[in-house]
Amino acid sequence: MNKTFSFLVGAIAGAVVGAVAAILLAPAPGSELQEQIRTRMQELIERGREAAAARRAELEVQLEAFKRGAAASEEPAA
């Protein structure tokens, strides 16, 4: 039980020290940092949507080419 208690005290102390260090070493005040994170996330989401749309267009072109190729191979030879 003594080892468990010592571990918990150490873990809590480490968490407190880490939180204080994060607050003191943050590159900007909290509201600015939140806005920067929010803006960056919106940019990443938009880039992801654009990449998904581009990939979807590529796949649709490939699917149409595949369908045309499969349809051409199914036609009976004259």
In which element (H, E) is residue 28 found?
none
- Residue-range domain boundaries for the chain: 2-74
For 27, residues 6+ apart whose C-beta sits below 8 A from its C-beta are 33
State pLDDT tens for residues 19-78: 888 877 877 777 887 888 899 999 999 999 999 999 999 999 999 999 988 766 665 555
- The pLDDT assigned to 69 comes to 85
List the one residue out of 24, 26, 6, 25 whose CA is nearest residue 14. Answer: 6
